[in-house]
Amino acid sequence: MDILKKVEQYREEEEKLKWEGTFAEYLDIVKQKPWVAQSAHSRIYHMIKDKGIETEHGAKKYSFFSSELYGLEEALERLVEEYFHPAAKRLDVRKRILLLMGPVSGGKSTLVAILKKGMEAYSRTERGAVYAIKGCPMHEDPLHLIPEHLRGDFYEEYGIRIEGNLSPLNMMRLQEEYNGRIEDVMVERIFFSEDKRVGVGTFSPSDPKSQDIADLTGSIDFSTIAEYGSESDPRAYRFDGELNKANRGLMEFQEMLKCDEKFLWHLLSLTQEGNFKAGRFALISADELIVAHTNETEYRSFISNKKNEALHSRIIVMPIPYNLKLSEEEKIYEKMIRESDVSDVHIAPHTLKVAAMFTILTRLKEPKRGDIDLVKKMRLYDGESVEGYNSADVDQLKKEYQDEGMSGIDPRYVINRISSTIIRKEVASINALDVLRSLKEGLDQHPSISNEQREKYLNFISVARKEYDNIAKKEVQKAFVYSYEESAKTLMDNYLDNVEAYCNKSKMRDPLTGEEINPDEKLMRSIEEQIGISENAKKAFREEILIRISAYARKGKRFDYHSHDRLREAIQKKLFADLKDIVKITTSTKTPDEQQLKKINEVVARLIDDYGYNSVSANDLLRYVGSLLNR
């Protein structure tokens, strides 16, 4: 009953939003809320903006897209700031078709679907309210009723520019139903809906021999010609083409570049002049965003054809590349699995991350700088801190290639392989090795991968495997450390006491005997060597640590285990190195004694409770790490 109550509540809310009144009453609304008269492009821009904009490291992140699209912040910022924003200001870009160009499964269709759904929801808000002449199949803008010679006066009074002319049907209705009195023409609030074909349209080309131009512009209703006497009578015409129905909103032109030329001619005048030709009528005004999407190969073929030059000049191409951020790619897989029927299968921690590593590596181009390899580049792109590199290096890397991210493995392939792993194993748990194995097997069946690419991709699977080996060893070693954070903190405090004494050239006091002793050089070096600090560099590193402690103290902050990335890494590695033999013996013994069994059970429990494994994946991990350490 709860769902039925919600349906009823939704119906009541819809009824409250409805409005109907005369054009004179509508003008009162326009005076109070001038945004109701904004253009389609302006409405879409404000819809995106009203959801909120965050700024991270100088880049804009739009909340409107963030729950559905991952890792495309730069492409989306370019789309909003270089197309929607100037189009909303009535600059010339609004007279262009928006063409999203990118590789398969890169998010183009998803982006358009988000815009469509967003417009449906936005038209139900106060800021997104849309009004139209009542009974008009094209949901025409009521302001078209204002005669041409009075539009200058209207702009002076209301500050709103009117573009477009009254459609043939509404011109006839104005005379016959309202005796030319525009103030009496009925206006209603409309709500965008793709299902009901209000303000949202989709055109998909089919067989050129059977598809009719009427799908775009509407057609004559032959059953009414006898009643109205002429094909040029607008009442004998069905204004039900996609261009008609998408008026005031958005029309998606699927596979536009595959379309027959005759379907594209109508877009020339619609984009440039804001009108199109239908039947035996004068030009019909339409205010809508036309968005199309294609891949790079089709686009190159399109622009190479001289016959398409007129249309090409009326297109703004927005590249939508693949995501190049590791953590965002992981989110894409999580979302796709959440929406599938395998969401109840346990996927061991790091499984999706390792799959994402492989995918991102296939999309990155080899750095031109000799001091950066693909793995470092992947980490830098993901915002990770890599020793010796900063944000300026990331910007430089991004400028090396204009088309980076336009090729590589698509998310669907990875999800297909993950699904295949789940189905084939018929168990309630899969891990990173299962998925890497499946990705490797799938390369042989992939139809569009050349032998050269296959070799390259197999190498990336090996790289991802090595990365996983390091992650797995760290995960197990962390779990073996009892009270890991506490052990790390104790070791770090001990190190810092010794560093302070070393830098200040002072003695330390033995906690047991109380006698003065020299700083423990052996302890300090055993930690520093874990991150490659040489004998010559040790003094500078220790002084850097002391300066950092002083800076924290001045700000009233406490220097702790997480305050210095390199020192934390060194402490971790030192702890892990000390534990390595224990881990090796415990995990590799086929018949562990009671003490070892107890330790294994403790580690499995910790992996389950603290790290997100289940009993199957935790035991698999222990066995695998044991084999790694015994090599």
CB 208 within 8 A of CB 214: no
Q: What is the pLDDT of residue 289?
A: 93
Q: What is the pLDDT of residue 370?
A: 84
For helices 374-381 and 326-338, angle between their N-to-C axes, nearest 10 degrees: 70
pLDDT-based confidence at 20, cuts 50/70/90? very high
Q: What is the pLDDT of residue 132?
A: 97
Q: What's the average model confidence in pLDDT over 375-398?
A: 88
Residue type at 94 in one-letter notation = R
Q: Buried b vs exposed e over 191-204: b needs ≥16 C-beta within 10 Å?
A: bbebeebbbbbbbe
Q: Buried b vs exposed e over 120-146: b needs ≥16 C-beta within 10 Å?
A: bebbeeeebbbbbbbebbbbbbbbbbb
Residue 593: count of CB within 10 angstroms of its CB:
10
Q: What is the pLDDT of residue 514?
A: 77
pLDDT beyond 70 at 600: yes
Q: What is the pLDDT of residue 134?
A: 96
Q: What is the pLDDT of residue 116?
A: 96
Q: What's the average model confidence in pLDDT over 445-466?
A: 89
Instruction: Decide which of 581 and 299 is more confident.
Output: 299
pLDDT-based confidence at 261, cuts 50/70/90? confident
Q: What's the average model confidence in pLDDT over 511-520?
A: 83
pLDDT beyond 90 at 321: yes
pTM beyond cutoff 0.95: no
Q: What is the pLDDT of residue 265?
A: 75
Q: What's the average model confidence in pLDDT over 85-101?
A: 90
Q: What's the average model confidence in pLDDT over 201-219?
A: 79
Chain CA centroid to CA 97, Å: 22
**Most confident segment among 255-264, 322-331, 414-423:** 322-331
How far CA 333 is from CA of 23, 375, 427, in Å, comes to: 51, 20, 20
* Structure letter (DSSP) for residue 131: E
pLDDT beyond 70 at 527: yes
Q: What's the average model confidence in pLDDT over 115-120?
A: 96
pLDDT beyond 60 at 244: yes
CB 196 within 8 A of CB 204: no
pLDDT beyond 60 at 55: yes
pLDDT beyond 90 at 218: no
Q: What's the average model confidence in pLDDT over 546-550?
A: 90
pLDDT beyond 70 at 483: no
Range of lowest pLDDT (39-48, 197-206, 409-418, 592-601): 592-601
d(CA 148, CA 190): 25
